[in-house]
Amino acid sequence: MPEPRRLARSPIASMEPNRFPLALLPTPCHPLARASKELGLDLWIKRDDLTGFVMGGNKARKLEYLIQQALDLRVEVVVSCGAAHSNFLRQLAAAAEMAGLEFRAAVMECPYDSGAGPPTSQGLAPGFGNQQICSIIGGKFVFFPDGDWETLFAHGYALEDQAIAEGKRALWIPVGGSSKLGVFALWKAAQELTERFDRIVFASSSGSTHVGLGSFFKSSGTEIYGVACDPEPEIAKDFAELSKETHEEFPLIHELKPEELKLDFGFVGEGYGIPSQAGNEAIRWLAQREGILLDPVYTGKAFAALLHHAPRWRGERLLFWHTGGIPSLFALDRHTWDLNS
């Protein structure tokens, strides 16, 4: 008996989780003529700063799946934690409101890595940037004095317990949206590219951008180059763990080992959330040549790495994946900027 005729379906269509639309996709991807000429590269940029959702950023991609999952689970409250200046919490607060979900988050102005200790330089200005946008959107941000990430997590979990004690169905949303669904979102984003690149450079932090892009381009000849924004060398192991879990749920998404997750720790500066001189100079460099803005916590530091390594990458066709973060520019007070320039 002949096999029944089946509609041709791409593998991704058959495995795609439900999605709550938030972002304008695909985001633009275009060459940077002036920067290319000056750096001796064929430099392109992927504009996830233009997702069109509460001032852009890569988190809208992840939230499309995370919010739909919360709705599918019939959750009432979503709970998370992060820096008060978090781009993720800004986008999560807005997405939750749109979906009719209550949102609560434990925040610190500037949480730090326990190994590295508290930073001595100034972070972003309290009350500005993402925090201003969050005060417009709503949601419950519970502030705690600065401490390490472990302490912040404990506060976040306590908020979740409290919601449950109130009799509500609560869902914990991982920091930065880096769950299996977050990886899926960026793995899918990689399929928007219509050009082939020698290398993709981007700011890496909670891991799903790195794991998503990395697994899509595994063994493809495209080098995936993450620039770390946190001073925690052990994060490659956490990323590999995330990759393993994702592969178990979505077998088409390749698994990556720690040694396959290239992370450059040379541009973190003083710590997570602390603007650096090289990062601020990179922001100015790109703004003056291309009229494109970067941010002081993530993309400015990643672009500083690109400027630094450009001589060694000469002649490459290189993509800078702009992950957003623009609101933080408005929390980079004049004092900090002058201090660093």
Instruction: Note the residues at the interface with ligand PLP (CB under 6 A).
Output: 57-59, 87-88, 176, 178, 203-210, 295, 298-299, 323-325
Q: How far is the CB of 177 from ligand PLP (least distance, A)?
A: 7
Q: Is 3 exposed, middle or buried (0-12, 13-18, 19+ CB in 10 A)?
A: exposed
Looking at the Cβ atoms of 119 and 300, the one nearer to ligand PLP is 300
Looking at the Cβ atoms of 119 and 325, the one nearer to ligand PLP is 325
Q: How far is the CB of 88 from ligand PLP (least distance, A)?
A: 6
Q: How far is the CB of 40 from ligand PLP (least distance, A)?
A: 26
Q: How far is the CB of 289 from ligand PLP (least distance, A)?
A: 20
Looking at the Cβ atoms of 264 and 295, the one nearer to ligand PLP is 295
Q: How far is the CB of 84 from ligand PLP (least distance, A)?
A: 14
Looking at the Cβ atoms of 207 and 275, the one nearer to ligand PLP is 207
Angstrom distance (rounded) from CA 314 to CA 303: 15
Q: How far is the CB of 198 from ligand PLP (least distance, A)?
A: 21
Backbone angles phi, psi at 330, to 5 degrees: -85, 0
Looking at the Cβ atoms of 139 and 327, the one nearer to ligand PLP is 327
Minimal CB distance to ligand PLP: which residue? 325
Backbone angles phi, psi at 296, to 5 degrees: -80, -10
Looking at the Cβ atoms of 163 and 286, the one nearer to ligand PLP is 286
